[in-house]
């Protein structure tokens, strides 16, 4: 008998999602607009706070793309982006014909290093081009050092896009990730802390910016009885069916955060007595992570030579998914020639780090299987 697969992060329905979908069918709102889209936006706005407006979109990637468009990023412009992230943070820079400039992480939060950021901005200006935007990521749900980053950014007056795709519900100094700058983005892909099967949102600092996002997301139709276009538009709005899933998921978001954090504390206990393994955690009380994924770093010098790949394969044998940390963007073939600033912190993390099963739908049985693999390999 093969054991059922334990995923890193799989969809976890609360139960009410289907009712919102039924209502949409009953009222024939089977379209990329309708009461669920409006309701989901309302729920997100309330959750996020800080007077933000939220535009529900077809993906987090679309949200980053629209933020870049609204900031006027175009051909030949330079955009700074955290190197240690998923490719979706950086790809939209390319969509606009712009040039990504990658910045390394610091060791405490694994997110953009304020010092490397400053160095990058100053060097790009010296080389003749001031970066036109900065994409900061709250990776694995861990808030970036926003105070230090915003201090650097204000000095040069460059707009920031916060990629909070993995950090819905995380806070820095009690403020929600995604609300520190002009634009924040969220993702509701199948593997995120809540899902709409596929979807995302742009968090905007004004009603006007939200309206503009919806305008671009719905083919940029001018105000006219016929189809009149003076801008290139996109088909990026969220479906009313998917938004129904989102409304049901919002009802269980706080539970999901609590359960993901429970997984983190489970790993803290599990690895407490194993030398050479560190469970990634908040540096201090200013940071509150939703712990979207629990992650560890392994130092083979201290684990009697057991590497993260040995552990990954041991999990795989028991049908348990684990995965190396994100491979930094400046090492990716698609971004081969992009400038990079930093001291290889992200490269080091990629070499030693592993993401562990973290879903809010994992129970005692799954935790026991995970425990057994770890005890066996480190016995
Ligand atoms: C998932 C993710 C995205 C993209 O979101 P989609 O909804 O999948 O397009 C962007 N950035 C990060 C860091 C992500 O994890």
pLDDT reported for residue 375: 96
Q: Is residue 301 within 8 Å of 276, Cβ to Cβ?
A: yes
- Distance (angstroms) between ligand 1 centre and the Cα of 2 equals 32
Could you give the C-alpha distances from 228 to 32, 47, 153, 235, in angstroms and in order? 20, 36, 38, 16
d(CA 271, CA 201): 36
pLDDT reported for residue 32: 94
Helix (H) or strand (E) holding 288: strand 287-288
- Distance (angstroms) between ligand 1 centre and the Cα of 357 equals 18
d(CA 251, CA 273): 37
On whether residue 334 sits in a domain, the answer given is yes
Domain boundary among 252, 278, 309: 252
On whether residue 145 sits in a domain, the answer given is yes
On whether residue 8 sits in a domain, the answer given is no
CB under 8 Å to 333, separation ≥6 — which residues?
A: none
Ligand 1 within 6 A of 162 CB? no
Ligand 1 within 6 A of 355 CB? no
pLDDT reported for residue 2: 75
- pTM metric for this prediction: 0.97
Number of compact structural domains in the chain: 2
- Distance (angstroms) between ligand 1 centre and the Cα of 60 equals 5
**174 with 237, same domain?**
yes
CB under 8 Å to 53, separation ≥6 — which residues?
A: 45, 203, 204, 205, 206, 207, 209, 210
Ligand 1 within 6 A of 216 CB? no
Ligand 1 within 6 A of 61 CB? yes
**236 with 270, same domain?**
no
**198 with 220, same domain?**
yes
Domain boundary among 227, 252, 277: 252
**181 with 300, same domain?**
no
**231 with 304, same domain?**
no
Sheet with 287-288, strands from edge to edge, namely: 175-176, 171-172, 287-288
Ligand 1 within 6 A of 195 CB? no
Ligand 1 within 6 A of 200 CB? yes
Q: What is the CA radius of gyration of the chain?
A: 21
On whether residue 5 sits in a domain, the answer given is no
* CATH code for position 44: 3.40.640.10
- Distance (angstroms) between ligand 1 centre and the Cα of 89 equals 7
Domain boundary among 222, 252, 282: 252
Residue 366 domain boundaries: 254-377
pLDDT reported for residue 372: 98
Q: Is residue 181 within 8 Å of 161, Cβ to Cβ?
A: yes
* CATH code for position 285: 3.90.1150.10
**Taking the chain (379 residues) in consecutive chunks of 10 residues, what is each chunk's mean pLDDT?**
90 98 98 97 97 98 98 98 98 98 98 98 98 98 98 97 98 98 97 98 98 98 95 97 98 98 98 96 98 97 95 98 98 96 97 98 98 96
Which of the listed residues 85, 139, 165, 236 should we mutate to test ligand 1's pocket, taking the one with most ligand atoms within 8 A of CB?
165
**225 with 241, same domain?**
yes
Ligand 1 within 6 A of 295 CB? no
pLDDT reported for residue 3: 86
């Amino acid at each position: 008998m093969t054991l059922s697969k334990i995923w890193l992060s799989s969809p976890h329905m609360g139960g009410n999602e289907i009712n919102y979908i039924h209502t949409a069918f009953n009222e024939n709102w089977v379209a990329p607009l309708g009461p669920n889209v409006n309701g989901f936006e309302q729920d997100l706005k309330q959750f996020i706070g800080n007077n933000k407006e939220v535009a529900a979109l077809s993906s987090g990637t679309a949200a980053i793309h629209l933020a870049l468009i609204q900031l006027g990023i175009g051909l030949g412009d330079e955009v700074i982006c955290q190197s240690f992230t998923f490719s979706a943070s950086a790809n939209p820079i390319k969509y606009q014909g712009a040039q990504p400039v990658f910045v390394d992480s610091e060791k405490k939060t694994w997110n953009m290093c304020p010092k490397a950021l400053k160095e990058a901005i100053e060097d790009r200006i010296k080389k003749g081009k001031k970066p036109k935007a900065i994409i900061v990521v709250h990776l694995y749900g861990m808030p970036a050092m926003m105070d230090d980053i915003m201090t650097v950014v204000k000095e040069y007056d460059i707009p920031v896009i916060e990629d909070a795709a993995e950090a819905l519900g995380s806070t820095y100094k009690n403020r929600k990730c995604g609300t520190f700058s002009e634009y924040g983005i969220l993702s509701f892909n199948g593997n995120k802390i809540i899902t709409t099967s596929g979807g995302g949102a742009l968090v905007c600092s004004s009603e006007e910016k939200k309206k503009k996002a919806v305008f671009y997301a719905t083919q940029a139709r001018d105000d006219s009885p016929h189809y009149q276009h003076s801008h290139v538009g996109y088909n990026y709005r969220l479906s009313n069916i998917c938004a129904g899933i989102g409304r049901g998921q919002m009802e269980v978001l706080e539970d999901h955060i609590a359960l993901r954090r429970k997984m983190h504390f489970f790993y803290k206990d599990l690895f407490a007595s194993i030398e050479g393994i560190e469970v990634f955690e908040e540096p201090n009380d200013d940071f509150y992570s939703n712990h979207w994924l629990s992650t560890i770093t392994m130092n083979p010098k201290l684990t009697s030579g057991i590497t993260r790949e040995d552990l990954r394969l041991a999990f795989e044998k028991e049908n348990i998914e684990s995965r190396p940390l994100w491979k930094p963007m400046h090492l990716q073939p698609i971004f081969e020639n992009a400038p990079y600033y930093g001291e290889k912190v992200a490269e080091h993390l990629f070499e030693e780090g592993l993401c562990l099963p973290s879903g809010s739908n994992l129970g005692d049985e799954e935790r026991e299987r995970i425990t057994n693999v770890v005890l066996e390999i480190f016995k």
